[in-house]
Amino acid sequence: MAGNVSTLAHVAKHRQRRSLQDPQWLRVALIGLALLFVAIFLVVPLVAVFTEALRKGVGPYFAAVADPDARAAIRLTLLAAGIAVPLNLVFGLAASWAVAKFEFRGKALLIALIELPFAVSPVISGLVYVLLFGAQGWFGPYLGAGDHPWLGAWANAHDIQVIFAVPGIVLATVFVTFPFVARELIPLMQAQGKEEELAAITLGASGWQTFRRVTLPNVKWGLFYGVVLCNARAMGEFGAVSVVSGHIRGETNTIPLHVEILYNEFNIQAAFAVASLLTLLAFITLALKNLVEWRHRRTLEAAAAADIRQFVNSP
Amino acid sequence: MRPPVSRRSVLPGFGLSLGFALAYLGLIILLPLAAAFVKTAGMTWADFWAAVTSPRVLASYRITFGASFLAALFNVPAGVVLAWVLVRYDFPGRRLVDALVDLPFALPTAVAGIALTAIYAKNGWFGQWLEPLGVKVAYTPLGVWVALTFIGLPFVVRTVQPVLEELEPELEEAAASLGATRAQTFRRVILPAIRPAIITGFALAFARAVGEYGSVVFISGNLPMFTEITPLLILTKLEQYDYRGATALAVVMLLGSFAMLLLIQLVQRSSTRRARA
């Protein structure tokens, strides 16, 4: 998390002290070096996306974005994110409530396991679902292959397919975005403790009222922050979704997969036009992230200040 | 005999929230991961060993782990300079640069992949200048390194930045008043303070790079024995219906990432212990 407010304070703090000032040539050299690095690795790729997307003008740009296959890909991406984000949001709230408000054995292990999907390669995240639901997988025979006397027949009758179909894409998306909300909420709720909730309960509020009126308002910015990051990953995921998708145009292609297909067909301009949508999503994500960090830090600092006052005022 | 009241929490919902969290974690994450290990357990040791040490697989380890290591290594000095500049200096556009550092987290990897390929291809903005100099980036291991450097860029910056912000200026003043030069102060005072953050950032960038797929597959060209990374090889085996071979490779990579996670935990624990002492 970038601390813009406190960073400013620190810049000021360090500027006052002559002994801590780096010589002018060093400052210029380091700033130049940092800007050069950022320009080469971050700015140029961004500019390249939009230059390539608009290479043939505005008409072909919108044609590529409005293409029926592109629109189908956008719909599928919205659907996958629309299912994965709320599921992981509910999980994040449940996990952080349990971890932050109660003591139990194995808590550290639970926190470590929540972060596990970050350590797993996206390709492996997709692979494990193929192992479960693919034709050779554990549950595969029950899904459409018809081996099982009644489960297979039921799956056949209802035409249920997970891998190379929409459910697989949703499951892979849920897997890779699993930790985002929980990992924001857990430290936040732990820092806030449970005194306010205890007070509410003591005053006669029900558990649900306490959660809705006390806990949720306290963590709303952290929650929003987690949802923004979760959504960005859900809409942009490529590797995991690629393994389970089957790449059927207009049916099982998400936006990133559609970009890949266009690119591999040497339809470079259209690939970048669709990619520019994802780049805009990245810009919105970064803007919201910075906005939340700014607001969030102020609430956190206010909370810390209130804590100090409480401490000073107590006998 | 009733249990003492103070041992029980007044807050409700413990069973419900923990139960749901554990069930969801088990179904979505642990059961699928367990499937990979169970699938591999069905192989004989000889088959497993052959699957994870064939020449093509060994070549993929070399490029995956080698390029990831070099990319994370490059991100250490680059990340420290960026964090230093962002915390200590004020310059126009500082906040914009600060926000841009997170771009590799926010930009979908496929977009990064095709953008970097366009830049470094033979007729790209950088490629057209580099190729006459004999430097080929796209479709070579150097291209893999560029993609992994991009992906790992935020990690060292974001681990070192808060430590630099919290660093007491009094320490540096004391060093300066005792006659230390700026370089000596950096080496003897600042560097030891940020070293655990650097190691954590390096390890996170490395771990992320090893599993990376989307940004690499476009720029690498995917030539077996040359630029084919292990995650892509897993996908290739899967597409050839070699489920066991793919899963065996996945298990090797999973064990590697778990070891990295453990290492990161140990580094963080030892550094907090040292900070407390």
pLDDT tens sequence across B2-61: 444 444 578 899 999 999 999 999 999 999 999 999 989 989 999 999 999 999 999 999
Q: Nearest-CA residue of chain A relative to B254?
A: A120
Cβ pair B206, A214 in contact under 8 A: no
Mean pLDDT of chain A: 85
For B13, residues 6+ apart whose C-beta sits below 8 A from its C-beta are: A97, A207, A211
Whether B21 maps to a domain, the answer reads no
Residue A308 has pLDDT above 90, yes or no: no
The minimal CB distance from B103 to the residues A31, A207, A282 is found for A282
Distance CA A242, CA B221 (A): 17
> What residue numbers bound the domain in which A32 lies?
1-53
Number of compact structural domains in chain B: 1
Number of compact structural domains in chain A: 2
Same domain, A285 and A149: yes
Using a cut of 0.90, tell me whether the model's pTM lies above it.
Answer: no
Contact criterion met (CB < 8 Å) for A290 and B99: yes
Contact criterion met (CB < 8 Å) for B116 and A91: no
Distance CA B152, CA B218 (A): 17
Q: For residue B191, what pLDDT band results from cuts at 50, 70 and 90? A: very high
What was the pLDDT predicted at B55? 96
Q: Which of A121, A241, A255 to mutate to test the interface with B (most CBs of B within 10 A)?
A: A121
User: Residue B218 sits in a domain of what CATH number?
Assistant: 1.10.3720.10
Whether B10 maps to a domain, the answer reads no
Contact criterion met (CB < 8 Å) for A2 and B98: yes
pLDDT tens sequence across A239-273: 999 999 877 777 889 999 999 999 999 999 999 99
Q: Which long-range CB contacts under 8 A does B250-253 form with residues at least 24 apart?
A: B250/A121, B250/A123, B250/A124, B250/A127, B250/A128, B250/B36, B251/B36, B251/B37, B251/B40, B252/B52, B253/A121, B253/A124, B253/B210, B253/B211
Same domain, A118 and A264: yes
B244 CB near a chain A CB, below 8 Å? no
> What residue numbers bound the domain in which B132 lies?
45-276
Whether B134 maps to a domain, the answer reads yes
The minimal CB distance from B106 to the residues A242, A259, A286 is found for A286
What was the pLDDT predicted at A258? 95
Report the gap between the CA of A228 and the closest CA in chain B (Å).
Answer: 10
pLDDT tens sequence across B250-274: 999 999 888 888 888 888 788 777 6
Which B residues 142-201 touch A at CB under 8 Å? 149-150, 153, 158, 161-162, 165, 169, 172-173, 176-177, 182
The minimal CB distance from A44 to the residues B84, B125, B258 is found for B125
Same domain, A190 and A265: yes
Same domain, A104 and A234: yes
Whether B266 maps to a domain, the answer reads yes
Residue B175 has pLDDT above 50, yes or no: yes
Contact criterion met (CB < 8 Å) for B106 and A232: yes
